[in-house]
Amino acid sequence: MIKFLLNGVIRDKSRSRLPIIVVSVGVMLTVFLHAYITGFMGDALEMNAKFNYGHVKIMTNAYAENIELNPIDLAIIDVEDFLEKLNARYPHIKWSQRIQFGGLVDAPDEYGETKAQGPAFGLGLDILSPNSQEIDRLNLANSLVRGSLPANSGEILISELFSRKLQVNPGDDVTLIGSSMNGSMVMYNFTIAGTLSFGVDIMDKGSIIVDIEDVKIALDMNDAVSEIIGFLPDGYYNHKNALSIQDDFNSKCNNINDEFAPVMLTLGDQGGMGAYIELSQYWSWYITFVFIIAMSLVLWNAGLLGALRRYGEVGIRLAMGETKGHVYTSMIVESVIIGIIGSVFGTFLGLFFAFILQEYGLNIEGMMEGASVMFPNTINARITTMDFYIGFIPGVISTVIGTMLAGIGIYKRQTARLFKELEA
Give me the percent of the chain exceeding a pLDDT of 90: 25
Please name the residues in contact with 32: beta carbons below 8 A apart, sequence gap of 6 or more.
Answer: 350, 353, 354, 357, 381
Report the alpha-carbon distance of residue 81 to residue 262 in Å, rounded: 13
Contact 53, 274 (CB under 8 A): no
- Mean pLDDT over 84-104 rounds to 91
Asked if pLDDT for residue 2 goes beyond 60, the answer is no
Of 10-14, 221-225, 259-263, the one with minimum mean pLDDT is 10-14
Q: Which pLDDT does position 383 carry in this prediction? A: 85
Q: Which pLDDT does position 104 carry in this prediction? A: 92
Of 120-124, 199-203, 358-362, the one with minimum mean pLDDT is 199-203
Burial class (CB in 10 A: 0-12, 13-18, 19+), 109: exposed
Q: Which pLDDT does position 371 carry in this prediction? A: 44
- Mean pLDDT over 231-250 rounds to 87
pTM above 0.85, yes or no: no
Asked if pLDDT for residue 10 goes beyond 50, the answer is yes
Strand 56-60 and strand 227-231: the pairing is: antiparallel
Q: Which pLDDT does position 192 carry in this prediction? A: 93
Q: Which pLDDT does position 189 carry in this prediction? A: 92
* pLDDT tens readout for residues 69-82: 888 889 998 988 99
Reported confidence tier of residue 15, pLDDT bands at 50, 70, 90: low
Residue closest to 157 by CA, chosen among 196, 103, 202, 104: 196
Any idea what the Cα angle at residue 348 is, between residues 347 and 352, rounded to 5°?
115
* pLDDT tens readout for residues 133-144: 888 888 888 888
Asked if pLDDT for residue 201 goes beyond 80, the answer is no
Of 90-99, 275-284, 325-334, the one with minimum mean pLDDT is 275-284
Of 60-64, 97-101, 192-196, 384-388, the one with minimum mean pLDDT is 384-388
Give me the residue spans of the domains in the chain.
Answer: 2-47+276-423, 56-231
Q: Which residue has the higher pLDDT, 394 or 406?
A: 394
Strand 155-159 and strand 185-196: the pairing is: parallel
- Mean pLDDT over 102-116 rounds to 87
